[in-house]
Amino acid sequence: MVIKLTNVDKIYVNGEIKTNALKAVDLTIESGEFIVVLGPSGSGKSTLLNVLSGLDVPTRGTIEVHDVTISNMSQKELTKFRRDHLGFIFQQYNLLSTLTIKENIALGAHIAKDSFDIDELLEKVGITDQKDKFPHQLSGGQQQRVSIARALIKKPLILFCDEPTGALDESTGKDILKLLNTLNSSYKTTVVLITHNPGIASMADRIIKMNSGSIVDIIVNKDKVQASDIAWS
């Protein structure tokens, strides 16, 4: 077990209005799994990712990550935990425009207790020939590969992906998903990916379906498909 949520609620309060973004969520994610969280806009999937990863804290309930209870940590403790153990990939690449590709990736290595060799990782994600360029000189798909390498360089226990293909066309998006699947297999990194694209779910080990702040179904995917073969929508 790498993540365990027990009876987790998340309530947002805006004046007199209360919104139950998560409702009594129970979930266990095993080490090395490729998990896809699927649901429409407003279903709670982004909130789930945020509390899973310590970017936000639950209103009630317990969250354990790698046998450490993070739901009662201070913000300072959460920041250190994320820095030491977790990796993040977002729809926006968040690269520093004044640094080269290799320098952007090196930022992740500088904060890590243990890190991969940068040149090895550049080769693994297929951007060795781009390492001395700046972000504006790369395509969207290449920039996303850089953000993936930056997240992976510190050997995270878990890689959280928030709509990582949302800004990409189908061909480039499938290339990124293929890369994530390869890295999951090669490094046994647990991957938690949220999306509204049901086609992406077909490549997961398990599919977590959400609606109105609740997990409505958990599907064990016995017929995983390759990223190149998913139905894009």
**pLDDT, one tens digit for every residue, the chain (233 residues):** 689 999 999 999 888 888 899 999 999 999 999 999 999 888 999 999 999 999 999 999 999 998 899 998 999 999 999 988 899 998 888 899 999 999 999 887 777 677 788 888 888 888 999 999 999 999 998 998 899 888 888 888 899 999 888 888 888 888 889 889 988 888 889 999 999 888 999 999 999 999 999 999 999 999 898 888 898 87
In 153-230, which ranges are continuous DSSP H helix?
170-187
Question: pTM for this one?
Answer: 0.90
- Token representation of residue 217: 């179904």
Structural domain total, the chain? 1
- In whole angstroms, how far apart are CA 226 and each of 175, 183, 200, 205? 11, 14, 10, 12
Beta carbons within 8 Å of 127's beta carbon, 6+ residues apart:
101, 138, 142, 145, 146, 149
Q: Tokens 């959460």, residue?
A: 78
Given the DSSP bridges, would you call strands 190-195 and 158-162 parallel, antiparallel or unpaired? parallel
Q: 34 is in which domain, residue-wise?
A: 3-229
- Per the CB < 8 A criterion, the answer to whether 202 and 172 are in contact is no
- Token representation of residue 37: 């969280």
Q: What is the CATH number of the domain that holds 25?
A: 3.40.50.300
Q: Tokens 């243990």, residue?
A: 114
